[in-house]
């Protein structure tokens, strides 16, 4: 079959697989894996030459590791050194040691057991980060710990990939000169990146030919990969090193922008190739054993990660989320095992078994996350030992602020400047602990809970500011306040028009759409920069503001009727044009215009 034929099959499978799995909330990575299985030898056999596909996908893996390396700035690593080198080393050391001991007891050679123990200790950076980002948990404490551990794994893979040939040499009775050669090569690459690479990139960037700069970056990747192959190491290690060496350069962001459009497809190609390489015949022949091995890996890693999470956070909910997000196998495991296979440290049967276990473990993360967040997490949240913080009621606080993020903090800063006392509440313990470091008077707790509002002095307050980011939590808080503290004046933040409709539906009139005012101010500035006097630009935006507020009130009663909403939007657009035209005529002094 032609290359175009295979490309169409891959694209169709990717589009269908990812769309279906994203639709059911299971993530894109699982969609790519299943798509690869479907078109591969274990599925419909639409792509027969798996070896050719795997060789072609190596370019995707090379570029993928270059992008990962590009994101590992030395300054970023240093800022996260506690999570990266402290917790990361504990996770990797404990997991590698336990798995190595188990494999040695299963009669595997010690060197092979150690390599597989290290490979299984690695997690999927792409999958874990995506799973946390989809749930807005990357900024949470467990998200930061997970990211630090993942960074350490990516960094630790560098010396280990260099160590595999040495281990092969040791098993053959050769010397450690290979390791010295690797370290020497690495030192040369570091010096060359500073002395040669950056001046060359600067000269090429000065030509202002974007495609030439991208080609130069790819040449750096390919060249470094080739050097590593020539000294007997993996090309992917060279690509990763190239990314790391450029991560702290002034061209990092331009390189990321050039490669960003390809990053998703390269990840997709990589995971599809993994799916194609999974031998489902192993599961069919030994279903109980294969399921046991996959779950055994995930549970073992999860137990180690849960222990780290409890030790660091003292929060069971955060510890479980940390365990789920990083308990799967990782991309680097395929690279490690392939290198060990090439060095005859791993047999063909063991190679296939590892690929199946790691590949299948990737599918467990989105499944476990979906089940946990839906059925278990709500119960753990309600059973949290930190119900809310104790609040000093010695003085009356006329204002309560629910939600102390980017909106609530602005309100709080202005009130503080005017010497107006307030109590701020926020439902994120991590965020509360963070903003307290800067002297903010903010307390942890769910503002929709009656007992917290009573403790915060809602009965004596005058104004209640709802600045909560989550729409559902915002509405629950508004209803609680209206029911139990009807004397409070509610001033609410609406994230968007639909949220504004919900707030108006419960009778709150003092609402503010968070991006509307900024958009009006920005547009006024644009008009001024185009030469309009301030008075004319200001009047134009006041006309727009008044009409949009009027439109919000009118469309509120039509919010369930899409046809009427569309008609009203068209009418409003025509009315706005008439108002602008009348305004221009008034300013020009010509009433006939």
From residue 126, alpha-carbon distances to 129, 365, 368 in Å are 6, 12, 17
Residue 216 CB neighbour total at 10 angstroms: 19
From residue 237, alpha-carbon distances to 63, 197, 225, 437 in Å are 11, 18, 7, 41
The pLDDT assigned to 572 comes to: 57
Spatial contact of 428 and 404, defined as CB atoms under 8 Å apart = no
Give every CB contact of residue 93 below 8 A, 6+ residues apart in sequence.
Answer: none
The pLDDT assigned to 209 comes to: 82
Instruction: Find the mean pLDDT for residues 448-458.
Output: 84
**pLDDT tens digits for 360-400?**
898 898 889 888 988 888 777 654 445 555 555 545 678 99
Instruction: Find the mean pLDDT for residues 208-230.
Output: 80
CA torsion through residues 257, 262, 268, 269, sign: negative
Burial 221-247 (b: 16+ CB within 10 A, else e): bbebbebbeeebbbbbbbbbbbbbbbb
Domain 52-376: CATH class, spelled out: mainly alpha
The pLDDT assigned to 559 comes to: 56
Q: Tell me what percent of the chain is helix, strand and coil, each rounded to the nearest 5.
A: 75, 5, 25
Backbone angles phi, psi at 512, to 5 degrees: -135, 120
Say which residue, 29 or 179, is predicted with more confidence.
Answer: 29
Say which residue, 303 or 374, is predicted with more confidence.
Answer: 303
Q: Which DSSP string do the residues of 294-338 spell out, in sequence order?
A: HHHHHHHHHHHHHHHHHHHH--HHHHHHHHHHT-S--HHHHHHHH
- The 8 Å CB, 24+ separation contacts for 559-567 are 559/498, 559/501
Question: How far does CA 170 lie from the centroid of its chain?
Answer: 40
Of 107-121, 197-211, 422-436, the range with the highest mean pLDDT is 107-121
The pLDDT assigned to 489 comes to: 92
From the DSSP assignment, how many helices (H) and strands (E) are in the chain? 28, 6
From residue 63, alpha-carbon distances to 239, 345, 450 in Å are 7, 26, 53
The pLDDT assigned to 472 comes to: 84
Q: What does the alpha-carbon distance between residue 143 and residue 84 come to, in Å, rounded to a whole number?
A: 12
The pLDDT assigned to 172 comes to: 47
pLDDT confidence of 464, banded at 50, 70, 90? very high
**pLDDT tens digits for 137-169?**
876 788 888 988 987 887 787 778 778 877 776
Residues in the chain: 593
**pLDDT tens digits for 310-341?**
998 888 888 999 999 999 998 788 878 888 88
The pLDDT assigned to 244 comes to: 76
pLDDT confidence of 175, banded at 50, 70, 90? very low
In this model, does residue 232 exceed pLDDT 70?
Answer: no
Q: What does the alpha-carbon distance between residue 396 and residue 572 come to, in Å, rounded to a whole number?
A: 46
Q: Could you tell me which residues are beta bridge partners of residue 248?
A: none
184: left (phi over 0), alpha (psi -120 to 50) or beta: alpha
Compute the chain's Rg from CA coordinates.
Answer: 29
Instruction: Find the mean pLDDT for residues 354-361.
Output: 88
In this model, does residue 577 exceed pLDDT 70?
Answer: no
Spatial contact of 121 and 332, defined as CB atoms under 8 Å apart = no
Q: What does the alpha-carbon distance between residue 6 and residue 541 come to, in Å, rounded to a whole number?
A: 54
Spatial contact of 33 and 270, defined as CB atoms under 8 Å apart = no
Mean pLDDT of the chain: 79
Instruction: Find the mean pLDDT for residues 461-471.
Output: 90
Domain 396-513, what fold?
A: Rossmann fold (3.40.50)
Spatial contact of 72 and 293, defined as CB atoms under 8 Å apart = no
Closest CA to 352 of 364, 341, 342, 366: 341
Residue 551 CB neighbour total at 10 angstroms: 18
Backbone angles phi, psi at 209, to 5 degrees: -120, 95
The pLDDT assigned to 384 comes to: 47
Spatial contact of 297 and 103, defined as CB atoms under 8 Å apart = no
- How is the chain split into domains, by residue range? 52-376, 396-513, 515-593
Structure tokens at 546: 């008044």
Q: Could you tell me which residues are beta bridge partners of residue 422?
A: 399
Say which range, 82-86, 164-168, 230-234, has the weakest mean pLDDT: 230-234
In this model, does residue 470 exceed pLDDT 70?
Answer: yes
The pLDDT assigned to 391 comes to: 57
Q: What does the alpha-carbon distance between residue 502 and residue 494 come to, in Å, rounded to a whole number?
A: 9
Q: What does the alpha-carbon distance between residue 422 and residue 401 come to, in Å, rounded to a whole number?
A: 7
Q: What is the pTM of this model?
A: 0.61
In this model, does residue 255 exceed pLDDT 70?
Answer: yes
In this model, does residue 296 exceed pLDDT 80?
Answer: yes
Instruction: Find the mean pLDDT for residues 19-37.
Output: 81
∠ Cα 213 214 217 (to 5°):
90
């Amino acid at each position: 079959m032609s290359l175009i034929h295979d490309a169409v099959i891959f694209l169709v499978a990717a589009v269908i697989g990812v769309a279906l799995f994203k639709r059911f909330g299971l993530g894109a990575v699982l969609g790519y894996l299943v798509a690869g299985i479907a078109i591969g030898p274990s599925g419909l056999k639409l792509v027969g030459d798996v070896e050719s596909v795997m060789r072609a996908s190596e370019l995707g893996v090379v570029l993928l590791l270059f992008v990962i390396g590009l994101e590992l700035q030395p300054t970023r690593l240093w800022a996260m050194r506690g999570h990266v080198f402290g917790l990361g080393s504990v996770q990797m050391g404990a997991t590698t040691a336990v798995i190595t001991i188990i494999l040695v007891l299963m009669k595997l050679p010690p060197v092979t057991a150690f390599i597989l123990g290290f490979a299984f200790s690695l997690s999927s950076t792409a999958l874990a980060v995506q799973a946390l980002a989809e749930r807005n948990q990357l900024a949470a404490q467990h998200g930061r710990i997970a990211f630090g551990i993942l960074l350490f794994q990516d960094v630790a893979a560098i010396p280990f990939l260099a160590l595999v040939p040495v281990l092969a040499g040791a098993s053959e009775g050769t010397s450690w000169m290979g390791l010295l050669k690797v370290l020497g090569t690495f030192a040369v690459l570091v010096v060359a990146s500073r002395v040669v690479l950056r001046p060359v990139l600067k000269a090429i960037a000065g030509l202002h030919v974007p495609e030439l700069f991208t080609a130069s970056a790819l040449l750096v990747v390919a060249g470094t990969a080739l050097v590593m192959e020539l000294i007997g190491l993996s090309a992917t290690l060279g690509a990763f090193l190239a990314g790391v060496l450029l991560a702290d350069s002034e061209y990092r962001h331009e390189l990321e922008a050039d490669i960003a459009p390809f990053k998703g497809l390269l990840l997709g190609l990589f995971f599809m190739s993994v799916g194609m390489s999974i031998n489902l015949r192993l599961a069919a022949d030994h279903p109980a054993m294969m399921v046991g091995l996959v779950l055994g890996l995930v549970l073992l890693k999860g137990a180690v990660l849960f222990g780290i999470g409890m030790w660091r956070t003292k929060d069971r909910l955060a510890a479980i989320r940390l365990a789920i997000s990083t308990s799967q196998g990782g991309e680097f495991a395929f690279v490690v095992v392939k290198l060990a296979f090439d060095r005859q440290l791993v047999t063909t049967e063991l190679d296939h078994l590892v690929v199946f276990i790691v590949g299948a473990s990737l599918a467990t993360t989105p499944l476990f996350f979906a089940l946990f967040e839906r059925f278990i997490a709500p119960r753990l949240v309600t059973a949290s030992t930190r119900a809310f913080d104790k609040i000093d009621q010695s003085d009356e606080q006329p204002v309560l602020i629910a939600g102390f993020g980017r909106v609530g903090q602005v309100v709080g800063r202005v009130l503080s400047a005017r010497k107006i006392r307030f109590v701020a509440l926020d439902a994120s313990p991590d965020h509360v602990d963070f903003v307290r470091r800067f002297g903010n008077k903010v307390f942890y707790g769910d503002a929709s809970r009656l007992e917290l509002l009573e403790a915060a002095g809602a009965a004596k307050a005058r104004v209640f500011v709802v600045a909560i980011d989550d729409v559902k939590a915002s509405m629950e808080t508004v209803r609680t306040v209206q029911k139990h503290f009807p004397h409070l004046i509610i001033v609410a933040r609406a994230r968007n028009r639909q949220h504004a409709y919900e707030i108006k539906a419960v009778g709150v009139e003092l609402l503010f759409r968070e991006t509307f005012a900024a958009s009006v101010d920005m547009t006024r500035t644009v008009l001024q920069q185009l030469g309009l006097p301030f008075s004319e630009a200001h009047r134009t935006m006041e006309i727009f503001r008044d009409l949009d507020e009027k439109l919000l009130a009118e469309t509120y009663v039509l919010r369930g009727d899409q046809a009427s909403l569309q008609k009203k939007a068209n009418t409003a657009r025509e009315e706005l044009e008439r108002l602008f035209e009348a305004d221009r005529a008034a300013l020009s002094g010509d009433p006939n215009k």
